[in-house]
Chains A and B, each alone.
Chain A
Amino acid sequence: MNRGVSWRHFDFWLLGAIVLAIAFGVAMIRSAIAGNEEIATTVTRQTQFAVVGLIVIIIVAGIDYRYWTALYIPMYIVMMILLIMIYISAQPQFGAARWFQVAGLFIQPTELAKVVEVLMLARYFELTKDRPRDLKWILGSLAWVWGLAIWILLQPNLSNVIVMMVIWAAMIWINGLQYKHVLVGGLIGIIVVLLAFFFVMEQYQRDRILTFLFPDPNATYGATYNVQQALIAIGSGGLLGQGYGHGTQVQLRFLKVRHTDFIFSAISEEFGMIGSGLVIVILLIVVWRCLRTSFLAKDITGAMIGYGIAVLIFFQGAVNISVNMNIIPVSGLPLPFISYGGSGLVSLMLGIGLVESVVLRHRQMEF
């Protein structure tokens, strides 16, 4: 099946960027342990996941991405079953059930679901490329998305549903969504958001948003504590940072969840603006290489894979950094390739493998 594929087209820029990001992440996780024995094994684990991820990239890149889209029915069903299982039987932890525990590892199917969504939509838009961009076409794509998203919403995990909806919106836009539908969709979106806030959201979700919008100036140790500590970490990093292993916010553990959700703050404190700027630049390189792939792709499926993965990485990264800098409320989304978390890392690397698969088979005339 690799006949006609030239590995010299393999995007080493893309691979290099993510390897750099992962290495940076592992180094920062090591610093972020800061004597906490409960997370002492995270460095080894993240390294193991990264190795697994690299193998996944090579394997997936070698397989023509159209095989995956051809297998969309079993893939979609398996994904749905995994999400239903986690909804029904997963153990409650930190207020929400988002993991499978298999052989001591926490597996989070939600992370995989976002990559599967990209594949599903890529296939859908390929299939419907000649259909009129009518309401039926829109609802058809939404139906595929919500088949998975509904289970995630029930977990409840609003952040990832938002990620999935953004991916969907970005992809349907690029495929020629009519302007009138954008307008109507925007209005419906606002109404849905308002209804969701008052009737669907759990109290803790409402509280998160409310404390973000109207922070209590006296609540240093209340709900705003983590974000406040993150800001102190970022700000005290300055231009050059306090040095690796010398950030007091990280090393004295004032910064919470510093190896996952707030790793951007940890980097910013210890490496300053050089570190935080580097993170943003690396993410931009990854996004750029994925978007480049979508321009090179020989079919809609390939283009949509590159574009969808780019949207996923950019949006998730932007949300995470914005949370760190108190621009938006706390969401719980990891920083792509850098935050600790095996499922997220391997799922994203699977996505990168798909992109590489597209690059390897891009439209060009072999001579």
Chain B
Amino acid sequence: MSSGSVTQPVIDTRRMWPVYVAIAVVLLILVSRLVRYQVIEYQSWLDQAVENYTSTIRPPAPRGIIFDRNGYVLARNVASYNVVITPANLPDDTADIQKIYRELSKLIEVPVNQGTVEEAKLFAACVEGPGIAQLVELGDSNSPYTPVKVKCFVDSNIARIVSERAMDWPGVSVEVEPIRDYPTGSLTSNVVGFLGPIPADKEAAYLDNGFVSGRDKVGYSGVELSLDPILSGVNGTRVIQEDVAGKELRNLQPPIAPTPGSNVILTIDSRLQAAAEATLINEIKEWNAYYGEERISSGVVIAMNPQTGEILAMVTYPTYENNRFSRFIPGYYYEQLSQDLRLPLLNNAISSEFPPGSTFKLSTAVGSLNEGVVTVDQIIQAPGRLVLTEKFAANEAGIERPFVDWTYNQNGVINEESFGTIDFRHCIAYSSNVCFYKLGGGYKEEILQGLAIQRLGEYARAIGYDKISGIALPGEQDGLIPDPQWKRINKGETWSTGDTYIASVGQGYVLATPLQVLMSGATIANDGKLMQPTIVREVQDSEGNVIEKWYDPANDGNITDTKETETSYRISPFVPNLKWDVTVEPIIRDFVCEGLYCTETEPQFYKTIDPYVIQMVQEGMRLAVTDNQGDIRRGTLNRVFGDPLKFPIAVAGKTGTAEYCDDVALKAQRCQFGAWPTHSWTLAYAPYEDPEIIILAFAYNGGEGASVAAPIVARVMQAYFELKAIDLAASGGE
């Protein structure tokens, strides 16, 4: 204060105290807050600041390529071009921007202005609708450094023009997006499959593994799905600092480069696949033209090496064009496919179950001979018609019911005698239903004790039925081998003698996938050794080194680098995997049977199949090709394979004509005695002595196996041996 005279201030100093108090209170609040934020909560706010500017980006890993066994590309990645605008890089002047928009609009045919920004928010990326200005304005308000897709999937010509004009059009550029391309398209789509966006229900798991939602695609079917972990690779990781507009400033951590997906080589031979597809489609079209209606709706052909389990061809018809799914999944197309009753989206070779019909007689034959129900030389009466007693209990009187053979009514001509007296092998060769009814269910004094359903089930399972095969493809079904307990639970009825009779010929409740039917034939052909069917031959890393991979079908198709579980098998590098050898491994439970009823022996006892039994069944299948004693007494495959001039290589096989009833047949009132529609089956292998190929053909509503499926098998087999000759000549000529 100055040294002058001191007088009282003009203001009331007592009234200043509340003002001081107010100032002090405010200060206390401010300082305490400051201490709280800057001292006590410092770390948590600092973490939030770091989180603000830290961003993790995932450079995409290129997906592995899929080849067939000859190195032919089945799935690859090709570049697709998007025209993008980065809003932050556009010029400052509005007139310049408008000029760019107008010129670009002419080139890519997207209007400069269309709709409002609000409306543009409703459109997903790449969907046409909003104008360029609206898309850019929306992108600018969200994240100005993120490129906005203005037009997707332009052709390379437009992409080149846009790239060349980069200097005149700042902010406009071309984004290269890899998309999947399938050179073989629908030919292999059931095996190769297709990709789709990360499904919402599994998004969290995928994001944990570094996938980017909305960008990365994952397998939806085929090997694209089952081998997805091998093919997809691992995205890279870059932790970067970015500003509020999303502009990348620097790496915060050393970046991790993406690991490319591994390449997969399948066992498929696309040449054989093409031949099989052409044969199947031609056969179906020919028959449909002959009948004048769309009778045969779908079909399957599978070719496999029975000694190694390699699937050489797996054709289903109808199927779908997987290239149409490569950019996005078009709703109308997917809808059309998923509503098609023929199930073109499914791989019917493994995902659909059908009654196997007479092809199932191989199970009955193996079982009845191994169990001593019949001897090889025993003479069996095989008339055209057999009256059997339908009984639900052992002491029941039962109802007499006629069972007829397939020869009984030949276009109105009744054939009471049919095959007459035949032995075991001719039962197989002629595919006599009457014979197999007797073997399965027993018949009076002739076959005192039939095989019965429990024992039949044991043998069916031993040669490949009733379980998934474990092939590295998704969506496999396990089929059905019924037994009395199953019928009680699912149908609420007691097992009857009639059920056993018709199960013995693969009818009734018996269901199997085409692959299971093929495996049953392959087990016989391969002297009782059931090989693991496989679709994968080799997995190579991006540098071409073969890497080891194990596939575990019992554990949700889990893929590992080493053998981690007993149930897994090696898929790469390929090795023939023996599932079991029925002549060595005791896997068949022993039952004591009396009439309908079998009980397990105590203590439990497991047994093998005598190699002699397998050999007799093989001979029966060979007789189906060679035996020709007249119109009736003739092997079922003799017409197709019997001419040694046409087929110098020894073939053996089994046909099947399986009665079924579906909604269509039910409407046409065909599900009744004598009018059932039938599926057509045939499996055949060659050469007989040392089989290297087994082929199965199936035609839905195809009619007789010998007339529809057998010619398909014959043509595919010819194609196989022709291709083999070509390959041999090519390697010999070098």
Contact = CB atoms under 8 A, between A and B. Distances in A.
Contacts of A300: 10-11
B78 interface: no
Given A249-B52, A300-B11, A318-B26, A273 B34 contact: yes
A268 interface: yes
B9 A303 contact: yes
B14 to A, nearest CB: 10
Given A253-B245, A254-B53, A176 B12 contact: yes
A173 B49 contact: no
Given A254-B244, A327-B33, A364 B2 contact: yes
Contacts of B39: 238-239, 273
Interface stretch (A19-27, A186-194, A291-299): A291-299
A231 B9 contact: no
A231 B15 contact: no
B15 A236 contact: no
A318 B30 contact: yes
A232 B52 contact: yes
B52 A248 contact: yes
A173 B15 contact: yes
A340 to B, nearest CB: 19
A167 interface: no
B9 A296 contact: yes
A325 B37 contact: yes
A253 B34 contact: no
A314 B12 CA distance: 20
Interface in B1-39: 1-2, 4-5, 7, 9-13, 15-16, 18-19, 23, 26-27, 29-31, 33-35, 37-39
A277 interface: yes
B545 interface: no
A174 B15 CA distance: 6
A234 B12 contact: no
Contacts of A238: 38-39, 42, 46
Contacts of B42: 235-236, 238-239
B19 A174 contact: yes
Interface in B200-245: 241-245
A167 to B, nearest CB: 12
**Interface residue tally of chain A, by bracket?**
35 or more
A337 interface: no
B18 A321 contact: no
A232 B48 contact: yes
Contacts of A367: 4
B698 to A, nearest CB: 56
A277 B23 CA distance: 16
Contacts of A297: 9-11
B243 A314 contact: no
A130 interface: no
B585 interface: no
B119 interface: no
Contacts of A280: 27, 30-31
Interface in A190-214: none
Contact of A321 (B11, B30, B244): B30
Contact of B38 (A239, A284, A294, A365): A239
B45 interface: yes
A252 B45 contact: no
A173 B18 contact: yes
B44 interface: yes
A128 B252 CA distance: 68
B-side interface size class: 35 or more
A235 B9 contact: no
Nearest to A321: B30
B43 to A, nearest CB: 9
A237 interface: yes
Contact of A174 (B12, B27, B38, B249): B12
Contacts of A249: 49, 52
Of B5, B27, B38, most A-chain CB atoms within 10 Å: B38
A232 B44 CA distance: 9
B23 A235 contact: no
A327 B86 CA distance: 39
Contacts of B46: 235-236, 238
A362 B29 CA distance: 34
Interface string A248-260: 1101111000000
A276 B35 CA distance: 11
Contacts of B45: 231-232, 234-236
A353 interface: no
A294 to B, nearest CB: 6
Interface string B43-75: 011101110110000000000000000000000
B41 interface: yes
A291 B13 CA distance: 11
B49 A233 contact: yes
A294 B11 contact: yes
A252 B30 contact: no
B41 to A, nearest CB: 6
B42 to A, nearest CB: 5
A242 to B, nearest CB: 8
A4 to B, nearest CB: 13
B52 A235 contact: no
Contacts of B249: 252
A69 interface: no
B244 A252 contact: yes
A243 B15 CA distance: 43
Interface string A306-340: 01000000100010011001010000000000000
A276 B38 contact: yes
Among A232, A296, A298, chain B packs the most CB atoms within 10 A around the CB of A232
A366 B4 contact: yes
Contact of A252 (B1, B10, B48, B243): B243
B13 to A, nearest CB: 8
16 contacts: A174-B12, A174-B16, A176-B12, A234-B37, A235-B48, A249-B49, A252-B241, A273-B34, A276-B34, A295-B13, A297-B9, A304-B11, A307-B11, A314-B23, A318-B26, A365-B4
Interface of A: 9, 170, 173-176, 229, 231-239, 248-249, 251-254, 268, 272-273, 276-277, 280, 284, 287, 291, 294-300, 302-304, 307, 314, 318, 321-322, 325, 327, 362-367
The 3 A-B pairs at the shortest CB distance, nearest first, are namely A235-B45, A364-B4, A236-B49
Given A234-B38, A327-B33, 17 more contacts: A174-B11, A234-B34, A234-B37, A235-B46, A235-B48, A236-B42, A238-B39, A239-B38, A252-B249, A254-B52, A276-B38, A303-B9, A303-B10, A314-B26, A322-B29, A325-B30, A325-B37
